[in-house]
């Protein structure tokens, strides 16, 4: 008997191949039904004295042996031969030694969504956000040249004026004909028109980039105004990089006009300006001409300095670094009494609203024991730091004994990973 259906029994039609009695050697030829799929099957031989043995179960005076049978289909099941497992998420499908068609699951950015179904296969974007509905995820979507039809750029009387945009976030940059930057508006959030005065005669490049409130790209346009006439001749190359604070996120924007030789970009980050690590890999758009803008956000920021730079890698393996950008996140003295909370290695206490007074600040354990305290003779605008690295996780209390005021306490949670 053979379990052709691979369901763990021998009860299906055609699975019992031979029954009979004999006291000599039995020879038989097995024909595999045409509808049996390739793979491994169990062949069982059962013998019982003076009775037909059951296919499954216990009996006396007999013997049962199981064997493995490999079923191949039309002699096409050879190990390593190509096949199709029917899964769009796999590539290089091949038969294994058990005649199973196995492919390699492709998920280049390790976000849990296979490349064939991922709208941004090179950058992790588990939510598959696609604000403009163009089939390209927001994480990979780049604004294309053009599309800002209402923007007006005029050049006259030694000045360039830019207006007409109406999107939540706007950047305006002006370069001379050699791509040397001469004006940067920073991040505009109220659609303020921009005028750049006192410019000498010559040719200029105006780059206007607009985004939605979540920094989803809307449009990107290059304008080529000229003061005093003359023909525009662009310089050799540009690699402009800026980093902007957006709440607790850092938005990174860079422009390059060397896409014909670019291969990819690496975003590097540091907290001291010296030791950098790679935080993102961005493929080049590989356009043959024109200047293109890229944008990426970093949500993993820390208090204090955050340094960024872009490594532009060319197809021949050479590379160029951008300028270094620094973004600082300071503690909000007006809004923060205890920060952060929960905390791990340190906590800051802000008493600036009581400037000029004296205070004693104590750290109290869950059992009511004071384990640290600081005496402040005159409160200023500086925050007071407590080192928490040697204390176990738990719920603590920050107790403030304030001169001339009612004492108060704040709950502090210390966590440990």
What pLDDT does 145 receive? 41
Cα dihedral sign for 89, 95, 98, 99?
Answer: positive
pLDDT for 66-93, tens place per residue? 888 887 665 556 788 887 777 778 888 8
User: Measured between alpha carbons, how far is residue 21 from residues 52, 56, 342 in Å?
Assistant: 8, 19, 79
3-state class (DSSP) for residue 354: helix
The residue-averaged pLDDT of 136-147 equals 55
pLDDT of 6 higher than 90 = no
What pLDDT does 143 receive? 42
CATH class of 152-329: mainly beta
Mean pLDDT across the chain, nearest whole number?
Answer: 81
Residues 277/286, Cβ–Cβ less than 8 Å:
no
Q: Which of the 8 DSSP states describes residue 52?
A: P
What pLDDT does 333 receive? 43
pLDDT of 362 higher than 70 = yes
3-state class (DSSP) for residue 352: helix
Of the segments 22-36, 83-97, 136-150, 260-274, which one has the largest average pLDDT value? 260-274
pLDDT of 147 higher than 60 = no
Q: Which of the 8 DSSP states describes residue 10?
A: S
Q: What is the per-residue burial (b if ≥16 Cβ within 10 Å, else e) of 234-244?
A: beeebbbbbbb
pLDDT band (50, 70, 90) for residue 121 = confident
Q: Which of the 8 DSSP states describes residue 31?
A: -
Q: Which of the 8 DSSP states describes residue 239?
A: E
pLDDT of 278 higher than 90 = yes
What pLDDT does 256 receive? 85
CATH superfamily of 338-414: Immunoglobulins (2.60.40.10)
pLDDT for 307-324, tens place per residue? 999 999 988 888 989 889
Residues 321/309, Cβ–Cβ less than 8 Å:
yes
Residues 64/53, Cβ–Cβ less than 8 Å:
yes
Question: Where do you find CATH 2.60.40.10 in the chain?
Answer: 152-329, 338-414
Per mean pLDDT, which range of 55-59, 78-82, 405-409 is the poorest? 405-409
Question: DSSP letters along 67-131, please?
Answer: EEEEE-STT---TT-B---S-TTEEEEEE-TTS-EEEEE--TT-SSS-GGG-SSTTS--TT---T
Distance of CA 409 to the CA centre of its chain: 40
Residue 416 CA to residue 108 CA, distance in Å, equals 32
């Amino acid at each position: 008997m053979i379990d052709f259906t691979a369901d763990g029994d021998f009860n299906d039609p055609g699975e019992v191949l031979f029954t009979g009695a004999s006291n000599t050697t039995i020879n038989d030829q097995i024909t595999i039904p045409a509808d049996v799929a390739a793979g491994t099957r169990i062949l069982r031989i059962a013998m019982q004295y003076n009775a037909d043995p059951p296919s499954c179960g216990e009996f006396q005076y007999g013997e049962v042996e199981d064997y493995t049978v490999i079923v191949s289909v039309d002699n096409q099941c050879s190990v390593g031969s190509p096949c199709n497992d029917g899964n769009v998420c796999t590539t290089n499908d091949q038969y294994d030694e058990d005649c199973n068609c196995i492919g390699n699951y492709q998920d280049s950015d390790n976000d849990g969504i296979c490349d064939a179904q991922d709208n941004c296969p090179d950058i992790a974007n588990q939510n598959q956000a696609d604000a403009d509905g163009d089939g390209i995820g927001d994480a990979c979507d780049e604004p294309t040249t053009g599309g800002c039809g209402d923007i007006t750029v005029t050049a006259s009387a030694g000045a360039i004026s830019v207006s007409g945009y109406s999107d939540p976030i706007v950047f305006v940059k002006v370069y001379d004909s050699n791509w040397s930057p001469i004006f940067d508006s920073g991040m505009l959030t109220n659609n303020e028109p921009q005028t750049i005065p006192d410019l000498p005669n010559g040719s200029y490049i105006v780059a206007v980039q607009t985004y939605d409130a979540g920094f989803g790209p809307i449009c990107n346009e290059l304008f080529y105004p000229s003061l005093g006439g003359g023909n525009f001749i662009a310089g050799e190359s540009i690699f402009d990089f800026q980093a902007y604070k957006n709440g607790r996120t850092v938005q990174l924007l860079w422009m390059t006009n060397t896409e014909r030789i670019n291969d990819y970009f690496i975003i590097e980050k540091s907290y001291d300006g010296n030791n950098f690590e790679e935080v993102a890999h961005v493929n080049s758009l590989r356009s043959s001409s024109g200047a293109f803008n890229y944008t990426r956000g970093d949500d993993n920021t820390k208090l204090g300095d955050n340094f960024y730079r872009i490594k532009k890698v060319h197809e021949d393996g050479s590379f160029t670094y951008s300028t270094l950008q620094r973004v600082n996140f300071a503690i909000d003295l007006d809004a923060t009494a205890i920060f952060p909370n929960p905390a791990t290695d340190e906590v800051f206490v802000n008493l600036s609203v009581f400037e000029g007074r004296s205070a004693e600040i104590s750290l109290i354990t869950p059992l009511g024991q004071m384990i640290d305290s600081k005496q402040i003779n005159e409160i200023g605008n500086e925050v007071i730091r407590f080192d928490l690295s040697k204390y176990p996780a738990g719920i603590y209390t920050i107790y403030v004994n304030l001169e001339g005021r009612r004492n108060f306490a704040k709950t502090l949670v210390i966590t440990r990973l």
